[in-house]
């Protein structure tokens, strides 16, 4: 295709003579690749800047340079200066692949917590309607029943639009996807106009990248500026901001107020078995039963039900599909053990998520039952949440085990030291740096009727340390530890 066609919708600042008429075969953002016949897009990231490698791409055979600032290589090869190479990258990949998102109805979910659960609930309802559904998100990507490994919540444009093209070719009608704040800030969704955008909540997370909560909120709000319909959680303190930023049709949902467009009324908690309530709007009521415990699951299922109804799902399909969904991998997931104690795995890795899941467990445990919390914090990520999570665990669990969790390039002991700053003196806690050893210890020393929460990794089947990424399934480790206990 000609560069002119690929850059449709991109703001061009200037370009060299005939650069827009160059024919290219593909696109690349990686200077290490064979770039013969490709357009090279200079992306500025947190750790490196593609503009610094512009001279090198000439020798690799790049046909044209797409950049945000002029570099020496612009004197030696065709170039196009654009206002945003991030946006250009997304639009170019989409155009190269035939604008696949235009053939699908896209539902995008953003917020700090709840994105994965909501996408799976919506998928369940749409499939109850007989629709073929694609999913892009944290746990895995799916094309109907085909599962594809996920490496990040929202993939880079090359992978994102490639996946969407595969979905289109496979006859997928609906795509339900998670939209991370990084993805929105990086303009990965620039070639997508969601039918529905959903806001869950906003609590401190990724502040190492965004800087402060207002910038974090502004990144999330980009979704509602491009969505045809916005569905906003009115219970969250940032709900009004998101609502005001939305440019299309918009609705609110709430489990705490009767003044939203869609509300959850007559909520009945059923402990570990979940909850039930009536979804009420101006002209109807649907009785919802959700098997996932916690008040946050009421909010999540409410958001999913509203989105599904706006897609044309019947009340019957909504109620039936949510009732049939047993749960979501790594979200309040009970490890299958024939034990007299319970182990629950959850992805909670923010202060708000950890507090919510501990609050949920405390609501259904008896006074005699001991609640044990096992958690750590990720390395090379927001450090401000570490003492907050330490304080929450110490206040809400009867016993806390502080351990490692994807330490990456940081010293695990230093991360743990940050967590301990939030744990008051005299609290019942212990430190076991090695996560495998921590899991073995809590299983081997578990008392009758204990409820053990293992928080942070959830669905993840890997651990990232300074040595790299290696397989790590805490569910398997817990099961093996229980087998050892039986000997």
46, pLDDT greater than 80: no
Where in the chain is CATH 3.40.1390.10?
Answer: 3-83
Both tokens of 113, joined, read 């917590």
Superfamily of domain 3-83: MurE/MurF, N-terminal domain (3.40.1390.10)
Mean pLDDT of the 230-253 span: 98
User: Which pLDDT score, from 0 to 100, does residue 10 have?
Assistant: 96
Both tokens of 248, joined, read 């299309």
Please, which residues have CB within 8 angstroms of residue 445's CB and are 6 or more apart in sequence? none
- DSSP secondary structure code for residue 366 in this structure: -
Architecture of domain 333-486 in CATH? Answer: Alpha-Beta Complex (3.90)
Both tokens of 155, joined, read 């993939």
User: Which pLDDT score, from 0 to 100, does residue 90 have?
Assistant: 98
Distance of CA 217 to the CA centre of its chain: 15
For strand 105-110 and strand 399-402, is the pairing parallel, antiparallel, or unpaired?
A: unpaired
User: Which pLDDT score, from 0 to 100, does residue 375 have?
Assistant: 98
Tell me how far apart the alpha carbons of residues 2 and 95 are, in angstroms, rounded to a whole number: 11
Tell me how far apart the alpha carbons of residues 365 and 373 are, in angstroms, rounded to a whole number: 14
99 vs 207: which has the higher pLDDT: 99
Mean pLDDT of the 364-379 span: 96
Please, which residues have CB within 8 angstroms of residue 478's CB and are 6 or more apart in sequence? 335, 337, 343, 345, 439, 443, 454
Both tokens of 241, joined, read 């901001």
265, pLDDT greater than 90: yes
Q: What sign does the dihedral 397-401-407-412 (CA atoms) show?
A: positive
Contact 29, 93 (CB under 8 A): no
207, pLDDT greater than 90: no
| Number of separate helices (H) and strands (E) present in the chain | 16, 24
Average pLDDT, the chain: 95
Tell me how far apart the alpha carbons of residues 12 and 453 are, in angstroms, rounded to a whole number: 52
Both tokens of 122, joined, read 């919506």
Contact 230, 261 (CB under 8 A): no
130 burial level (CB within 10 Å; 0-12, 13-18, 19+): exposed
* Residue whose pair of structure tokens reads 């155009």 in the numeric block: 95
User: Which pLDDT score, from 0 to 100, does residue 150 have?
Assistant: 86
Both tokens of 238, joined, read 């940032």
Contact 438, 432 (CB under 8 A): yes
Both tokens of 420, joined, read 């301990």
Contact 64, 78 (CB under 8 A): yes
Mean pLDDT of the 430-454 span: 97
3-state secondary structure of 5: helix
Both tokens of 372, joined, read 């044990």
Catalogue the long-range contacts made by 21-25 (C-beta closer than 8 Å, 24 or more residues apart).
22/63, 22/64, 22/78, 23/63, 24/63, 24/64, 25/63
Please, which residues have CB within 8 angstroms of residue 261's CB and are 6 or more apart in sequence? 251, 252, 253, 281, 282
Please, which residues have CB within 8 angstroms of residue 118's CB and are 6 or more apart in sequence? 109, 198, 200, 300, 303, 304, 307
Q: Give the helix/strand (H/E) hosting 79.
A: strand 79-82
Both tokens of 140, joined, read 């895995």
pLDDT band at residue 271, thresholds of 50, 70 and 90? confident
pLDDT band at residue 385, thresholds of 50, 70 and 90? very high
Where in the chain is CATH 3.40.1190.10?
Answer: 100-324
Superfamily of domain 100-324: Mur-like, catalytic domain (3.40.1190.10)
Mean pLDDT of the 315-333 span: 92
pTM of the model: 0.88
| Largest CA-CA distance found in the chain, in angstroms, rounded | 78
Task: Say what percent of the chain tops pLDDT 70.
Answer: 100
Contact 449, 341 (CB under 8 A): yes
């Amino acid at each position: 295709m000609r560069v002119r066609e690929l850059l449709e919708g991109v703001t061009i600042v200037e370009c060299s003579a005939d650069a827009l008429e160059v024919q290219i075969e593909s696109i690349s953002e990686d200077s290490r690749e064979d770039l013969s016949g490709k357009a090279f897009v200079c992306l500025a990231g947190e750790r490196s800047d593609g503009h610094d490698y512009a001279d090198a791409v000439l020798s690799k055979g790049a046909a044209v340079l797409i950049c945000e600032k002029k570099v020496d290589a612009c004197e030696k090869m065709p170039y196009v200066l654009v206002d945003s190479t991030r946006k250009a990258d997304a639009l170019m990949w989409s155009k190269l692949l035939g604008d696949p998102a235009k053939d699908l109805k896209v539902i995008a979910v953003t917020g700090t917590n709840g994105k994965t659960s909501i996408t799976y609930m919506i998928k369940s309802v749409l499939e109850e309607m007989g629709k073929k559904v694609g999913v892009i998100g944290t746990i895995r990507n799916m094309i109907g029943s085909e599962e594809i490994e996920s490496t990040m919540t929202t993939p880079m444009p090359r992978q994102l639009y490639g996946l969407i093209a595969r979905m289109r070719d496979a006859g997928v009608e609906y795509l339900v996807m998670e939209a991370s704040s990084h993805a929105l800030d990086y303009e990965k969704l620039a070639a997508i106009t969601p039918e529905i955008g959903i806001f869950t909540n906003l609590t401190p997370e990724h502040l190492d990248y965004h800087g402060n909560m207002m910038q974090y909120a502004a990144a999330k709000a980009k979704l509602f500026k491009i969505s045809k319909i916005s569905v906003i959680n009115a219970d969250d303190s940032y709900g009004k901001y998101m609502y005001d930023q939305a440019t299309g049709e918009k609705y609110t949902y709430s489990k705490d107020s009767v003044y939203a467009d869609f509300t959850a009324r007559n909520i009945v908690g059923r402990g570990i078995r979940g909850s039930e309530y009536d979804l009420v709007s101006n002209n109807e009521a649907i009785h919802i039963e959700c098997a996932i415990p916690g008040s946050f699951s009421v909010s999540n299922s409410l958001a999913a039900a509203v989105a599904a109804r706006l897609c044309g799902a019947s009340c019957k399909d909504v109620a039936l599909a949510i009732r049939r969904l047993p749960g979501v991998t790594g979200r309040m997931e009970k490890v299958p053990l024939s034990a007299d104690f319970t182990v629950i795995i959850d992805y909670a890795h923010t202060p708000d998520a950890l507090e919510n899941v501990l609050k949920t467990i405390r609501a259904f445990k008896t006074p005699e039952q001991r609640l044990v919390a096992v958690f750590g914090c990720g390395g090379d990520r927001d450090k401000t949440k570490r003492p907050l999570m330490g304080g929450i665990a110490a206040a809400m669990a009867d016993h806390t085990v502080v351990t490692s969790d994807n330490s990456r390039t940081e010293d695990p002991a230093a991360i743990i030291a940050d967590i301990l700053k939030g744990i008051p003196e005299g609290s019942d806690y212990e430190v076991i740096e090695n996560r495998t050893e921590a899991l073995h210890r809590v299983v081997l020393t578990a008392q009758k009727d204990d409820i053990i929460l293992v928080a942070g990794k959830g669905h993840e089947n890997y651990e990232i340390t300074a040595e790299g990424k290696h397989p790590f399934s805490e569910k398997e480790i817990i099961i093996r530890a229980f087998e050892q206990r039986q000997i």
